Structure 1
Amino acid sequence: MAEDSDRRVPTVIVDQVHIVYKIYGTGAGRGSATSALSRMVRRKSSPAISEVHAVRGISFTAYKGEAIGLIGSNGSGKSTTLSAVAGLLPTASGAIYTDGQPSLLGVNAAMMNDLTGERNVVLGCLAMGMSHADVRGKYQGIVDFSGINERGDFVSLPMRTYSSGMASRLRFSIAAAKTHDVLLIDEALSTGDAAFQRRSEQRIKELRESAGTVFLVSHNNNSIRDTCERTIWLESGVIRADGSTEEVVADYEKYMKNRR
């Protein structure tokens, strides 16, 4: 656990952030030949544009050594928030400040399906700024951590032959091989088995102790409880609660139970 003095050093500040998506071609028959013909008759060159206000004026501050869970129902703005913190989405208004480079690890993290797991490990590590010597030193540990070779020499096979769980484990193992200033994990642990999740939770604790900050989006509340001591609950693009994990997750579970 990081020292109390370190924990009060901000790493991410989200200040009154709004994020708006533009959606093209909305309405009945969008994208269809009928809608295209209708636009021609009305002499419109492009479909209608609508907006989705995905995140609505949220604010929070994250500190060194924290592991913060993000929970909420589907479409609540969790993944959108992480993408904005990573610099992948622009804000409509408000601002995001980060100390260091955020790294986003998601279930769709880019990997080359036609390349072997071995080549993806090397390329992934180099993309994170490791030297070739660092990659050689960490390579076997990454493969062992992922567990993809427990039932054969899968690391020498193309990524397209991997199950979603194997690919997810390898993605996390590559990302976790480096100490990150801010690591953003979006459902990347959801497909791992129980043993891998325990290893992942331990690695997240190690990242925190090395003064990193970790955000974890997951629909697995037990994983949030085991990994994070602070949790932010987003619902319909606004923050419903921000506090201790036990209290926030308990309130969220009551809310979801009453919705059924």
Structure 2
Amino acid sequence: MAPSADPGSMASDPTVVVQNVRVRYRVPSTDIADLRAVSRSERLYLHATGQRPKVTVDALKGVSFVARAGESIGILGRNGSGKSTLLRIIAGLETPLSGSVVARSNPVLLGVDAALVPELPGERNVLLGCLAMGLTRAQARAVLPEIVELAGIGKAIYRPMKTYSSGMASRLRFAIAAAVNPDILLIDEALGTGDAAFKERSERKMNQLRAAAGTVFIVSHAAQVIEEMCSRAIWMMDGVLIGDGPGPEIAHDYRWWSWNVAKDEFDKADEILANCREKWAPYAPVIAEPGTYASPQRHAR
């Protein structure tokens, strides 16, 4: 039976509407069975050219949901579940095989919109990143102190980016993206790289964005980040959205399931997963006709 419509689904304005999105890739495979599955002539061609046979991977399989103003949405799932692909589709960096995405404004994907140059100092990169996201030079200089404080990298802001650790670079990218106060902010694996002080500052900044009726998406392998920072979470598995609900509760269940998988307690993990699929089964989103929304569709097939 299809899940019923979410009774609270019209509580606030939609910011992102994802409808039946499917993504399919053709990727090389080293599996000998895939090589044997192709014709003899194709095997000879692949051998002569040093290529591998390609297989079809369905990265997203009909994902639908509505994100609303004031939400911080965590996206959970193991490697290969479709988390980052979903974020890139929302950002407009990839086009789905089918389905549509509607956003009321241009989403900012952390680490992509900020055009950072390794040879330049952090200070110059801040200016470049802000200019790339639409600020004037005067506005960029005005927010520089705020960005340095949020990133927490101190005097390193005057050193070349190539001397930064991966954590320092991630924190600076987050600070640049957040400083322009985007309506829709997409964060992929960037908030698990700091200390407790950075976590507190970044959480405070995300709360400010949400209070201004914005929406924040966070992809993280660290379920504790989702548990502590997100009002809502969606659980992805093999390209399918299997759970949607309160962030702290879903993240807690995800952590318990993951722990049992890591301990090879597969029967217990299967039991937890079955319960979670039932408890957090996604509501059928209330999706109006495309003309209802002020913004045009970002993708449509």
The interval holding the TM-score normalised by the smaller chain is 0.7 to 0.9
Which among 98, 109, 118 is matched to residue 93 of structure 1? 98
Distance of 1:108 and 1:174 partners within structure 2? 9
SS of match in other structure, 2:142: helix
Residues 86 and 104 of structure 1 are in contact (CA less than 8 Å); yes or no, is this contact kept in structure 2? yes
1:126 aligns with 2:128: no
SS at match of 2:170: helix
Residue 34 of structure 1 corresponds to: none
- SS of residue paired to 1:124: helix
2:14 maps to a residue whose letter is P
From the superposition, tell whether residues 136 and 42 of structure 1 become closer, same or farther in structure 2 (CA, over 3 Å). Answer: closer
> Are 2:22 and 1:18 aligned?
yes
Q: State the shift of 1:112 in Å.
A: 0.8
Equivalent residue in structure 1 for 2:73, among 68, 76, 82: 68
Aligned to 1:233: 235
Which one is further off, 8-17 or 108-117? 108-117
Cα distance in 1 for partners of 2:94, 2:176 equals 24
Q: 2:171 aligns with which of 169, 172, 181?
A: 169
- Pairwise CA distance, 1:48: 2.7
Superposition deviation, residue 221 in structure 1: 2.2
**Are the aligned partners of 1:182 and 1:214 in contact in 2 as well (CA < 8 Å)?**
yes
Q: Which deviates more, 109-118 or 159-168?
A: 109-118
Distance verdict in 2 for CA 1:124–1:6, change over 3 Å: farther
Cα 1:7/1:157, change in 2 over 3 Å: farther
Instruction: Specify whether residues 240 and 14 from structure 1 end up closer, same or farther in structure 2 by C-alpha distance, changes over 3 A only.
Output: same
**What is the CA distance between 1:23 and its match in structure 2?**
1.0
Give the gaps of 5 or more residues in structure 2: 1-7, 35-42, 265-301
The C-alpha deviation readout for 1:210-232, integer Å capped at 9, x for no partner, is: 11110011122222122111110
Among 74, 79, 83, which residue is 1:78 paired with?
Answer: 83
Checking the alignment, whether the CA contact within 8 Å between 1:230 and 1:245 is kept in structure 2 is yes
What's the % identity of the aligned pairs?
47
The answer to whether residue 110 in structure 2 is matched with residue 141 in structure 1 is: no
Aligned to 1:191: 193
Give 3-state SS (helix, strand or coil) of 2:179's partner. coil
Q: 1:100 to 1:141 in 2, by over 3 A?
A: same
Residues in 2 aligned to 1:84 and 1:164: alpha-carbon distance in whole angstroms: 25
RMSD: 2.6
Q: How far did 1:25 drift?
A: 6.0
- 2:277 corresponds in structure 1 to none
Shift in CA distance, 107/226, structure 1 to aligned 2, threshold 3 Å? farther
Asked whether 1:245 is paired with 2:247, we answer yes
Paired residue for 1:182? Answer: 184
In structure 1, distance between residues paired with 2:149 and 2:85: 32
Local SS of the residue matching 2:173: helix
Tell me if the contact between 2:114 and 2:177 (Cα under 8 Å) persists in the aligned partners. Answer: no
Matched, 1:50 2:55: yes
Matched letter for residue 62 of structure 1: A
Distance 1:185 1:7, change over 3 A: farther
Q: How many pairs are equivalent?
A: 247
Report the Cα offset of residue 141 of structure 1.
1.6
The runs of 4+ residues in structure 1 deviating greater than 6 Å are: 41-46
Deviation of the 1:177 alpha carbon? 0.5
1:198–1:96 distance in 2 versus 1, CA, 3 Å = same
Could you tell me how far 1:97 is from its partner in structure 2? Answer: 0.9
Q: Deviations over 1:58-105 (max 9, x none)?
A: 110000111011111111111110001001111011111111001111
Deviation at 1:46, TM superposition (A): 6.2
Q: Distance in 2 between matches of 1:107 and 1:127?
A: 10
Question: What is the alpha-carbon distance in structure 2 between the residues aligned to residue 175 and residue 110 of structure 1?
Answer: 11
Residue 219 of structure 1 aligns with which residue? 221
Gaps of 5+ in 1: 31-37
